[in-house]
């Protein structure tokens, strides 16, 4: 019988950060990974957001091409808009805007990294701090005392390991969440299914296209918006890229792969594949929690971090940073509660107090729900009864691109554009009332300074009558 202070299930970003901070504080810490090495069981790669550098500066300084050779900076997002016929009707590129205040985020939107490089690196920091990593070990169950409180874990070979605190960092299908009773199962509206293709491409061609002197300077993130498929993301790495799309479990109207195949076989996508000389490498399907509110994340001797707790951002499902931040907060809670000798749910309540105030928690406070409702009913409405992309894509195209026409005098063109925009009002207005106005009122409620600004802006929009 082995006794640890802290047992962590999972060596992804959440588990590794928890293990690092617990071990640094001198707690006897073990973390378990079912894969032969961390990262083996995850999606191919991810875009890492600047909040990771903001909250973990010392750690992130060490994520360099030496440890992650295919790391690629994305300073720009390319947006592709496809119509019903799957023709590309608009392409936009966006670099960070003037209102960005965090200095490094003025230079990059994400740093793109394969999980096969990121997870071994981040878990090595925990090992370096003194945590014990046990790979190829599946945790199958929790051990409970006669009062039903969790006191340890059991592996698939029957080995029992005891600890004062168990941190569930075991991702979307979390044995710790299920067996502790914190989350016996996800509701279909809390979880998405995400199919994804991974492509290889010659690094020199990627550089030519997306390098700092490339045609699309430092663009390494892409989004594909369409009328017939839920919005898709593209992430470019040193020697390839992946493209995926997702939707909530209850929302799919046919096999998710069909939607992705439709995009991949479209002419615009195939043009890009050809230009990059890209070859399909792997097809993957993963689950990802995408909730309006995390689940209950603690009980006696147990805390849940990252995906296990439903922490990915309610808008864009960014999940690596929330896993790391909740991992750190769970570690801080464990350190304090073990020192105080109170690891009961009353003691561990501190964890929820901490994450609610954190950057991750703010995402779920006012606005999280309204943002996700808007997002869900627009870019992901393709499979719903009311497909809002049917009017949104042509409306957006008209507003942004309508003036690129020299076939008429400009004033006539303006009238044509306004007339077309007006024809979409019957569909757009109910949408704005239902989803956009509640969001604007949430934003204003959060920061009342914006109210006078909002009034002033709308005042300026009212036409002034000529005397
Ligand atoms: C297709 C896809 C693309 C994504 N892209 C991005 C992105 O670009 N940027 C971003 O920030 N987020 C992205 N995410 C979300 C992100 O991957 C997750 O939110 C993040 O990995 C959560 O970290 P975690 O540590 O909580 O869990 P995980 O990373 O899932 O780690 C859990 C670990 O626990 C192990 N494990 C599970 N069960 C057991 C067990 N019983 N015993 C032992 N070990 C176990 C697993 O093997 C795994 O290594 C994406 C997700 C998907 C599915």
Could you tell me if the CB of 46 is within 6 A of ligand 1?
Answer: yes
Condensed to tens digits (0 to 9), the pLDDT of residues 146-172 reads 999 999 999 999 999 999 999 999 999
pLDDT at position 447 is 66
Could you tell me if the CB of 307 is within 6 A of ligand 1?
Answer: yes
Condensed to tens digits (0 to 9), the pLDDT of residues 349-365 reads 999 999 999 999 999 98
Cα(32) to centroid(ligand 1), Å: 14
Cα(16) to centroid(ligand 1), Å: 12
Cα(456) to centroid(ligand 1), Å: 45
SS3 readout for the chain? CEEEEEEEECCCHHHHHHHHHHHHCCCCEEEECCCCCCCCCCCCEEEECCHHHHHCHHHHCCCCCCCCCCCEEECEEEEEEECCCCCEEEEEEECCCCCCCCHHHHCCCEEEEEHHHHHHHHHHHHHHCCCEEECCCCEEEEEECCCCCEEEEEECCCCEEEEEEEEECCCCCCHHHHHCCCCCCCCHHHEEEEEEEEEECCHHHHHHHHCCCCCCCCEEEEEEECCCCCCEEEEEECCEEEEEECEEHHHCCCCHHHHHHHHHCCHHHHHHHHHHCCEEEEEEEEEEECCCCCCCCEECCEEECHHHHCCCCCCCCCCHHHHHHHHHHHHHHHHHHHHHCCCCHHHHHHHHHHHHHCHHHHHHCCCHHHHHHHHHCCCCHHHCCCCCHHHHHHHHHHHHHCCCCCCCCHHHHHHHHHHHHHHCHHHHHHHHHHHHHHHHHHHHHHCCCHHHHHHHHHHHHCCCCCC
Cα(268) to centroid(ligand 1), Å: 31
Condensed to tens digits (0 to 9), the pLDDT of residues 59-84 reads 999 999 999 999 999 999 999 999 99
Cα(410) to centroid(ligand 1), Å: 52
Cα(116) to centroid(ligand 1), Å: 12
Condensed to tens digits (0 to 9), the pLDDT of residues 11-53 reads 999 999 999 999 999 999 999 999 999 998 888 899 999 999 9
Judging by DSSP bridges, how do beta strands 160-168 and 240-245 pair with one another? Answer: unpaired
Binning pLDDT at 50, 70 and 90, where does residue 439 land? confident
Residues pairing with 4 in the sheet: 163
Count CB atoms within 10 A of the CB of residue 347. 20
**Could you give the domains of the chain?**
2-68+112-187+294-364 (3.50.50.60), 370-461 (no CATH)
Q: Which residues contact 219 (CB under 8 A, 6 or more apart)?
A: 74, 75, 76, 77, 78, 93, 210, 236
Could you tell me if the CB of 139 is within 6 A of ligand 1?
Answer: yes
Tell me the backbone φ, ψ of residue 294, rounded to 5 degrees.
-60, 160
For the segment 134-148, the average pLDDT, to the nearest whole number, is 97
- Residue 457, pLDDT above cutoff 70: no
Least confident of 103-107, 375-379, 383-387, 461-465: 461-465
Could you tell me if the CB of 15 is within 6 A of ligand 1?
Answer: yes
The CA-CA-CA angle for residues 269, 274, 276, to 5°, reads: 95
Ligand 1 mutation pick, 241, 290, 320, max ligand atoms within 8 A of CB: 320
Tell me the backbone φ, ψ of residue 159, rounded to 5 degrees.
-65, 140
């Amino acid at each position: 019988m082995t006794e640890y202070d802290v047992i962590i299930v999972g060596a992804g970003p959440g588990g590794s950060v928890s293990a690092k901070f617990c071990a640094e504080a001198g707690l006897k810490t073990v973390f378990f990974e079912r894969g032969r090495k961390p990262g083996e069981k995850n999606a191919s790669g991810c875009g890492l957001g600047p909040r990771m550098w903001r909250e973990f500066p010392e750690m992130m300084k060490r994520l360099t091409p030496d440890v992650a050779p295919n790391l690629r900076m994305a300073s720009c997002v390319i947006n592709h808009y496809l119509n019903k016929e799957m023709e590309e009707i608009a392409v936009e590129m966006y670099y960070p805007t003037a209102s960005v205040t965090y200095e490094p985020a003025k230079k990059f939107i994400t740093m793109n990294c394969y999980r096969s490089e990121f997870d071994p690196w981040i878990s090595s920091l925990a090992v370096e701090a003194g945590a014990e990593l046990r790979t190829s070990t599946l945790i199958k169950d929790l051990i409970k005392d006669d009062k039903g409180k969790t006191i340890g874990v059991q592996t698939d070979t029957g080995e029992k390991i005891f600890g004062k605190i168990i941190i569930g960092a075991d991702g979307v299908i979390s044995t710790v969440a299920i067996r502790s009773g914190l989350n016996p199962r996800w509701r279909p509206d809390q979880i998405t299914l995400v199919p994804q293709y991974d492509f290889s491409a010659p690094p020199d061609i990627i550089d030519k296209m997306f390098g700092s002197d490339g045609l699309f300077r430092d663009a390494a993130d892409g989004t594909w918006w369409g009328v017939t498929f839920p919005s898709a993301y593209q992430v470019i790495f040193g020697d390839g890229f992946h493209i995926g799309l997702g939707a909530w479990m209850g929302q799919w109207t046919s096999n998710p792969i069909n939607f992705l195949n439709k995009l991949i076989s479209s002419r615009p996508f195939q043009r890009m594949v050809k230009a990059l000389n890209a070859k399909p490498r792997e097809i993957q399907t993963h689950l990802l929690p995408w909730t309006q509110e995390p689940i209950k994340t603690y009980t006696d001797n147990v805390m849940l971090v990252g995906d296990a707790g439903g922490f990915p951002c309610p808008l864009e499902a960014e999940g690596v940073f929330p896993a790391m931040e909740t991992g750190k907060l769970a570690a801080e809670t464990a350190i304090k509660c073990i020192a105080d000798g109170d690891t009961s749910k009353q003691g561990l309540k501190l964890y929820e107090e901490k994450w609610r105030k954190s950057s991750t928690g703010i995402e779920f406070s006012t606005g999280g729900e309204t943002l996700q409702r808007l997002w869900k009913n627009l870019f992901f409405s393709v499979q719903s009864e009311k497909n809002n992309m049917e009017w949104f894509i042509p409306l957006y195209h008209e507003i942004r691109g309508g003036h690129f026409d020299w076939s008429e005098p400009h004033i006539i063109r303006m009238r044509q554009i306004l007339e077309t925009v007006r024809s979409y009002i019957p569909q757009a207005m109910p949408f704005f009332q239902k989803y956009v106005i509640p969001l604007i009122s949430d934003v204003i409620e959060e920061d009342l300074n914006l109210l006078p600004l909002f009034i002033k802006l709308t005042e300026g929009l009212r036409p002034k009558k000529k005397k």
